Amino acid sequence: MPADLNMKILVVDDMSTMRRIVKNILKQLGFANMEEAENGQEALQKLRADTFGFVVSDWNMPVMPGIEMLRAIRADEKLKHIPVLMVTAEAQKENLIEAIQAGVNNYVVKPFTAETMQEKINKIFK
Amino acid sequence: MIPRATVHTSAQPKDASDDIDPENPDTALYEKLGELTRFIDKTIKTISQFSAPMSATTEQLPDATTHLRDLRKLTEEGTHKVMQLVETIEDNRKRLYAQLDALERNLTGDNAAAVKAIRNGMAKDDKPLIDIITALSFQDLVAQRVNKLVTIVEEVEHKLLELVVVFGPYTKGAGKDEASKASEMLKQLEASKNTSINQDVADEILKQFGFN
């Protein structure tokens, strides 16, 4: 099933530049409905207050890192079905294993290209 | 296989057991303790002599963190500026695509083919434009490394301030009040270990310990 281009996507990153980059790539891929959060805690508040179809999140963030947010999403009955793509500079094998165990749907290592992002999104929604 | 060479030099440390007088082991122990005490005393004197340049270094460290934070801010602002310009170009192109579509619908034959060719020519820039945007993710990696550097500089600053408090000239021959002040300063430094120390706190410590 291809991704619904109208679904609401939450872009989570503490760096404003990265949020803008990810939003631009998603826009290029045809998505139009995007919101932003600066950390995992803010993201969880937004996810609980609205209906989102997809989360793209950074790993390293103050207040609540991406991995903790991912665990909270998977532990929440209402949110656990939402696909999560982790975008991170953490290329270590241990982090990847930790993310997989926490229930990540896919993983993009920075710096990445628009093609890589598209490929990962296609895999998540195939 | 290369045979292992045994090197003997005069600088090679002697085995501690060489100095121990089997008749009187306490003498050897006292000699060793005396040696250690002299070493510590010499180190304290040396550090005290270096206290002025050390103070200067400590004073400059908050400047270093400010420069690093400025670097992060400037690269962030520059990145946003480039993205804003690319987004403006993309918006203009979107309008041009719509106009070309409208034009193409009203044309036939060679004219329609010419408009289509223009459209295809424009489309060649779609990928380079998004590549410019994604290439800007370098700023995030720069910011992460700058954050690490700021943490390191702040740790070094804490350590230097601790040295200033412990070995500073103010504590030399200090009375009860001064010793308690030094102890209080060390507590403050310990408490601020996981937070960045501001210039005022650093200045206050340096001032109280005789640096201007």
Model confidence pLDDT, tens digit, residues B38-91: 777 676 666 666 555 556 666 667 778 888 889 999 999 999 999 999 999 999
State the amino acid at position B94 in one-letter form: K
Cβ neighbours of A109 in B, within 8 Å? none
Residues of A numbered 96-125 whose beta carbons fall under 8 angstroms of chain B's beta carbons: which are they?
A: 110-114
pLDDT in tens, A73-118: 999 999 999 999 998 876 667 787 888 889 999 988 888 888 888 8
pLDDT for residue B199: 55
Query: How many residues appear in chain B?
Result: 212
**pLDDT number for residue B10:** 40
**For residue B12, pLDDT beyond 70:** no
pLDDT of residue B3: 42
pLDDT band at B9 (very low <50, low <70, confident <90, very high): very low
One-letter amino acid for residue B171 of the chain: T
pLDDT for residue B16 is more than 50: no
pLDDT number for residue A100: 87
Cα–Cα dist A62/A66, whole Å:
9
pLDDT in tens, A31-43: 999 999 999 999 9
Residue in chain A closest to B127 (alpha carbons) equals A114
| B17-32: b (≥16 Cβ within 10 Å) or e | eeebeeeeeeebeeee
Contact B167, B54 (CB under 8 A): no
Q: What domains does chain A contain, in order, with CATH numbers?
A: 9-124 (3.40.50.2300)
CB nearest B139 (choices: A17, A24, A28): A17
Where would I find the H helices in chain A? 16-28, 40-49, 66-75, 93-102, 114-124
> Distance from B75 to chain A by nearest Cα, in Å?
10
pLDDT bracket for residue B25 (50, 70, 90):
low
Q: Which residues of A touch B144 (CB under 8 A)?
A: 60, 89
Question: Over the range B66-98, which residues count as b (16 or more CB within 10 Å of their CB) and which as e?
Answer: eebeeebeebbeebeebbeebeeebeeeeeeee
pLDDT, one tens digit per residue, over B150-174 is: 888 888 877 777 777 776 655 555 5
Is residue B135 within 8 angstroms of chain A, CB to CB?
yes
- Closest alpha carbon to B72 in B135, B150, B133: B150
**Minimal Cα distance from A111: which residue of B?**
B137
Which residue in chain A is spatially nearest to B77 when comparing CA positions?
A: A17
Select from B134, B138, B139 the Cβ nearest to the Cβ of A25. B134
Answer yes or no: are the C-beta atoms of A10 and A4 closer than 8 Å: no
Lowest mean pLDDT among A86-90, B34-38, B184-188: B184-188
Q: What is the pLDDT of residues B104-133, one digit of tens each?
A: 889 989 999 999 999 999 999 999 999 999
